[in-house]
Structure 1
């Protein structure tokens, strides 16, 4: 008995689950379908069917000219004539069309009725009903207009149509959906330590409230593109185990006035309902640009959106559990009201990683890559000075793709070296047709760069010299590998860079007695260094310790903005030009002396390049050792 009751309860529970599933996403619920059924759908279908039937009947009837119709009347060949205001209908009973129905356009003919009476033909009058055609003539265009308008509103206002224009279109990640923790972030240890306090507050707010402390309301992550600002924000949410609201600064700005402000209000309202949580605004400079910078006018949609953001950030209750994080690579153009205490209290700089940071990042991205035993990630990190996290991730992926293309089971050091060359110089083009004369010029040009780098102090060791074309315009390149990361440059180090950059052009002058266009990029970079030494760094003996910088550069992004009008006299401008020319002329003269003294090594290295196309490893180190010994700089 007990077993039977248990089976009945199990069967009843299964039926209830089936009903629930059918009513909430399974098979369609019949009752719910009836609730959604509209009487207007039925009426529209009825009208369309009636109109179609009428059109089909019209196609079955014979269209007669009025004169032919009168002739049939005179012959008594019609019956059951229906006289309408505009049409005459009836049945043909004689002739070839016997048994067919006819229709003709009625003409004002007073004799028609008399003729029908004379032939004894039955007839009747009928008023034509135009309501169907009238309704359809209004209904169909209106339906098309409404459908088109609804389509436009869905495209502009999101999936909910026009009613959702003011809704914030953010991505919401639940507590377990972020999937990123501090273990997935490397190379920015100082930033991780700084944000650890935010994580601790979200996990244990009582620890700070007990002593009367207030957590920062906003955290601004600033750094160069690709350094991991967004990844770091996700890691904070993953470590704290709280919801993560993610939006871009451009998601707030719309063409409709007031929409951006409405989206800001909606975003913060939802965040307060899900507190504790994190709001992350990527590319804040799209929204938070300083007010008054718009040349058209100050009262635009973006500024209204920014004003609403300022109000929402300053209107938070104390310790509400909502943390605002934002990322930008242009902090210098943000509105000062955003950066004051009480809004974005804490600014965290996400710098480019040093050699240890790059090695740690490479280890994270290489966790799922099969590496050969000869792969030295520390060496790879040393060869990638200036790379950010995104560049290193791309480097590992490129090396894996190269190994797969070569049908290898593991990724080796050769693939990493090739991937570095490909990222820095571009795709290798071994099949490009270069005539022997141009190839010889390129060989001596690159040999000049390498030989000067080996001869002057304060330069990075030469790692590879190649005359294989790469990228769009590079016919060859000389790769130097820094031994350490540098954050300051002395005057002598900058001069040494000038010497190396001019080495290729001077080598062409000495060997061929002429110069080519291949030194264009070298001259541009050398001129930039000389101008910075004179105008920005105060390294001119004639002008003294003074800077003539027109405006501060962005520390993270080259905006390419037009410089302001100069703030010095014509005489000073002439002296600046003379100093830049003097630096370049002195460097040109010194490089000429170096290459003339070591002409034999220049010829030797150029000959090796023409034979092998690439000189590296032991062969390059042997030449470098001899050059340094000849210069009295043997290590």
Structure 2
């Protein structure tokens, strides 16, 4: 309320100052010639005055020659002036009169409005300066006050552990905190020390903030929430003041929880130099360390914080006695995703064909936030088409939309570009089907989505925590399937494979520099993931290997990529008939599901041709290499069928 009042007072003071400035600098009225009272009376009697305006004892008038004048009636002569001189002329209709003579107003009363205006302006200016300069115990614009928001019971929405799905071990880890907040005497009696700080670490959207709210809701204690960036301001010392104010308020409400979201904004490594922050951030961090270290034993205030960059936090923040417990909140597995989907589907009408277990299987790597967005998109799609419930097609389309973007069916695509996209996506699908350890193909489409001209989706049989060298090599072959198919079939290449090449290069370099998967370089790490570089810590670090080793790394990466390219090329040459069959089916249908792809791959289904159009791929569309490979693959398929017939005979 005080902050709002200070803001209003500032604008009022500004308005009053503008009014006063206008009053003092506005140009004065044009001067009116003064006329002697007796001269004025004579002129009125002679009929030389056209009109007069009477204000108290002041008379302003205009002569018949359109000349303005001004005169003053002597004190006590107001009535006689009007009755004796003015009224006869009015009756003759030779004089127009406005106003009547009144008693003269006091001089002080006439200037009272101006005095009041000045007084109000001085009052509001005084109040504004008091707030700005810290008068009355306040700090400049309340900058030193904590911005933490205390969530009340109705704002907490009564979130408990029952509302958190897929985090069983994490909830067990936090049950001890809940038990202490409910019954601290039990722990004090045993001489136990409850952790003062709990650090929630995990990727964005995994439920760190939601889990912290559930702890407060389960224990039914006050919950103070603030972002790490809310501590830091441009004025040095403000952040430290806010930390002190936050902990003072929390101690008054103990037992309670202080939750600091994105703590890496204020808790970065000190003294890092470039990118490591400025003096204000370091002072704020120092004050946070002091406040957390200054807790009394079992004081009842527990600090919870969330971050996805625990590697850049100051070591002093993570030592025992401060954030002495770390809870890793990762992406949920298939069972966790199913439980999360059940929670987000509570208030949504689902059709009979919806199987959330299948949806969970189709969404590996999705965070709880992604799953919530998925169900919301499915509900929006169902509502858009005026459906009474959400069916499996809505969820399927929403899943693809979340990952690749909405389908751009209205986009005009040339026939040449459609053929190139069909060959590219068919290359990915056919190569993936030929690799023994690759995830099965779920769907192929050449309808543009987002920035992609086409899309090939895979459905893993099970979640994987790690990948073997063989799986990574097969993944490289699959990624290069689109580029190799373009080169073989169309004897040309396009920019559509840029993302595939980027991902393949990243995987190959990680195999060499991080995972030690080459004999030439051995089991030694030669660097870290570029995405995790922290400028304030890593900028000044040099390479830990020589130029000769760097050159060897480049050669090994090139060798891995070349080997994957050759493998992919051989697979597609041997199965050229399958590649063209799937490409033609994509041009015809635009989207192929898993069963349709399997039928096409095994030769149990063929693309349907329009007799008027003839073959979709004409003779001139296919390169000579593709024609030769097609003959070889057809001969191989025929020999295989003949062999199978001979076995049956």
| Fold-level similarity (TM above 0.5) | yes
Q: Is the 8 A contact 2:582 2:601 kept in 1?
A: no
C-alpha distance in structure 1 between counterparts of 2:164 and 2:337, whole Å: 11
CA pair 577-507 structure 1, distance change in 2 beyond 3 A: same
Question: Of 221, 234, 241, which residue of structure 1 is paired with 2:213?
Answer: 234
C-alpha distance in structure 2 between counterparts of 1:525 and 1:606, whole Å: 24
CA pair 474-149 structure 1, distance change in 2 beyond 3 A: farther
C-alpha distance in structure 1 between counterparts of 2:566 and 2:234, whole Å: 60
Aligned ranges for residues 22-33 of structure 1 at < 5 Å? Answer: none
C-alpha distance in structure 2 between counterparts of 1:587 and 1:92, whole Å: 104
1:262 counterpart = 2:241: yes
Corresponding residue for 1:515?
Answer: 493
CA pair 99-329 structure 1, distance change in 2 beyond 3 A: closer
Corresponding residue for 1:248?
Answer: 227
Question: Of 57, 60, 64, which residue of structure 1 is paired with 2:32?
Answer: 64
Corresponding residue for 1:581?
Answer: 558
Aligned ranges for residues 191-590 of structure 1 at < 5 Å? Answer: 191-295=170-274, 300-471=279-450, 473-550=451-528, 554=532, 564-590=541-567
What TM-score, normalized by structure 2, do the two folds share? 0.75
Q: Is the 8 A contact 2:181 2:300 kept in 1?
A: yes
Farther-moved stretch of structure 1 (606-615 vs 572-581): 572-581
Corresponding residue for 1:34?
Answer: none
Partner SS state of residue 346, structure 1 = strand
Shift of 1:172: 1.1
Q: Is the 8 A contact 1:174 1:242 kept in 2?
A: no
1:102 counterpart = 2:71: yes
CA pair 275-71 structure 1, distance change in 2 beyond 3 A: closer
Gaps of 5+ in 2: 1-11, 45-56, 73-106, 605-635, 641-649
Partner SS state of residue 409, structure 1 = coil
Shift of 1:378: 1.1
C-alpha distance in structure 1 between counterparts of 2:252 and 2:571, whole Å: 72
Q: Is the 8 A contact 1:175 1:242 kept in 2?
A: no
Q: Is the 8 A contact 1:338 1:344 kept in 2?
A: yes
C-alpha distance in structure 1 between counterparts of 2:531 and 2:416, whole Å: 42
After the TM superposition, list the runs of 4 or more consecutive aligned residues in structure 1 that deviate by more than 4 angstroms: 69-78, 89-101, 128-150, 160-163, 296-299, 550-553, 557-564, 624-627
Question: Of 141, 151, 154, which residue of structure 2 is paired with 1:173?
Answer: 151
Shift of 1:598: 0.4
C-alpha distance in structure 1 between counterparts of 2:448 and 2:537, whole Å: 29
C-alpha distance in structure 2 between counterparts of 1:386 and 1:196, whole Å: 27
Shift of 1:148: 7.8
Shift of 1:77: 6.5
Shift of 1:226: 0.3
Shift of 1:408: 0.7
Q: Is the 8 A contact 2:276 2:537 kept in 1?
A: no
Farther-moved stretch of structure 1 (326-335 vs 565-574): 565-574
Partner SS state of residue 345, structure 1 = strand
C-alpha distance in structure 1 between counterparts of 2:536 and 2:435, whole Å: 34
Partner SS state of residue 326, structure 1 = strand
Shift of 1:536: 1.2
Corresponding residue for 2:91?
Answer: none
Q: Deviations over 1:11-50 (max 9, x none)?
A: xxxxxxxxxxxxxxxxxxxxxxxxxxxxxx9xxx9xx9xx
Partner SS state of residue 517, structure 2 = coil
C-alpha distance in structure 2 between counterparts of 1:186 and 1:404, whole Å: 27
Q: Deviations over 1:519-577 (max 9, x none)?
A: 1111111111111111111112222222211578649x999987954332222221111
Q: Is the 8 A contact 2:270 2:276 kept in 1?
A: no
- How big is the alpha-carbon RMSD for the aligned residues of Structure 1 and Structure 2? 3.9
Shift of 1:252: 1.5
Partner SS state of residue 543, structure 2 = coil
Q: Deviations over 1:387-407 (max 9, x none)?
A: 100000000000011011111
Q: Deviations over 1:570-619 (max 9, x none)?
A: 22221111111111111111111100100110111111101100111321
Gaps of 5+ in 1: 1-40, 79-88, 104-127
Corresponding residue for 2:572?
Answer: 595
Q: Is the 8 A contact 1:77 1:93 kept in 2?
A: no
C-alpha distance in structure 2 between counterparts of 1:571 and 1:522, whole Å: 28
Aligned ranges for residues 46-61 of structure 1 at < 5 Å? Answer: none
CA pair 100-529 structure 1, distance change in 2 beyond 3 A: same
1:164 counterpart = 2:155: no
